[in-house]
Structure 1
Amino acid sequence: MRTRGMGRAAIAVTVAGAAVLAGCTVQPADGDGKRRSPVHIEMPGDSPAPARSPAGGGGPGTAPAPPTDDKPSAAPAPARVLWSRGDTGRDVRELQARLRQVAWLFDGPTGTYDDATERAVSGFQGKRGLPRTGRTDTVTWQRLLGMTREPGRWDLYLMGGQPADPPDARCRTGRVLCIDKTSRTLRWMVDGRTVSTVAVRFGSQYTPTREGVFSVYWKSRDHVSTLYDSPMPYAMFFSGGQAVHYSADFAARGYAGASHGCVNVRDERAISELFAQVRNGDKVVVSW
């Protein structure tokens, strides 16, 4: 009887073990995609799992566990913002000039951090996996610096806005259109006082703007060039066919283009006001 009972027990253990090893259902996969047995089986030779120490210390003869700092680690500080919407100045011009180099901005530079600049910065940031804030922080600026070259003066002032150099001495008396080829500016001066200043563009090396002292001899509000068949609004002629006039091409392309010898103005409102003030016989000085 004892032997028979022990035999039934052995058979029961064997059947139970076979059921565990063979399995009867498909087990769901763990998060890593691998199927796991719901039962942990230690085979001979397996290393025993390390004993867990009770909270607050180890077993007899063991040193207490060192204290731990349960405070969460501090989040990294956000990058410092250098410029954002509404900022103005030379640094903003450089930012805009560099954004133009990588084709994220097509207008300006204007020197004002406007909506177009904010959109350009945001697009540049998103393309490079940076937070799309539209604000230029130190990380964004360093990334842009690494992709672009140092802008030259006429990259910064491609569309005008540059300061004028001191006027030529010949401009300090009377009524004068004082035109400076170095700073690319025109001062309208009366008795030594500057009334207004505008950016101007000149002829190319093949059709240069003549230098010297001249006078306005003819004004033509809606003039069209007979030589080039191009509009020359608000034309004030001072030397042969050369005149100070508004240029839509200058307004659109800035210093990327040149005239056929005339002095181009890109600000239509400014040239219309100037046209109304200048008289025939007023002096014109063109100098470097």
Structure 2
Amino acid sequence: MRHVRTYSLGRVRRVPKALAIGVLALAGLTTGCEPGAVGVTQPTAATPAATRTADDSKPSGGPASPSATPSRTPSARPSPRPETLMSTGDRSRQVRELQARLRQIGHFDRSPTGYYGTATAASVTSFQGKRGLPRTGRTDTVTWQRLLAMTRKPTAKELDPPAAAPTASPDARCLTGRVLCISKNSRTLSWMIDGRVVSSMDVRFGSQYTPTREGTFSVYWKSRHHVSTLYDSPMPYAMFFSGGQAVHYSSDFAARGYSGASHGCVNVRDEGKIAALFEQVKNGDKVVVHQ
């Protein structure tokens, strides 16, 4: 175990590094609370085995006479592999449409986020398996055309639903002014101005060991491309409201949903929504975190 030195009344004391980081975090001297599951890497879609072709090399033993040369029948050319259109790690409006179409036929059980994570790859694999297609988890041209034939064009509400969960009734502290009203019970964030809900989105919180603080706060710092100094991980569109805790986009949340948790921050999984929210929120705006 690595140790760090601390100083107290002129004496040097050695304490475990993990304990030192915990003390700094509690003191609010470090920023960051991502990712939701430390050490978990997102699996990539399986790559199909390479296709073997027949050996067309020249036979050994010297040239044979024309009469002894066996007749050859033309062999069929192998069909080209389908082009991959979308795969794990992609972010786009087309991914959002893919998720909405999969949801229409029961292969995607959450709101579209536009991020192609492990949950999307698993849904595509399920769709491919039931249609007799190679179960790659990648959306190739064949998979996409089959999906288009089975579904309709998603509506604007299907592509950008308000939130997967019903938005909670706002806390009384959220009814005046500009407020990020965050409910732990409904797991939603509502951006409100003078009691009117402007936008809402799904969120997740810290675990029982690193809980998200409840109470009334205010946004004191915005950082569009923030990287956690505590966990060395990205926290895009971060809006800090209490020490190192912030509202920010989480690719882990987008990929794995509620199977993970933050280290205290309020995670948003829809990058488009939090990008728009980041542009509207100002330093000094109120933040209310309640049950």
TM-score by length of 2: 0.48
Structure with more relative contact order (C-alpha pairs < 8 Å, separation 6 or more):
2
Flag the structure with larger Rg: 1
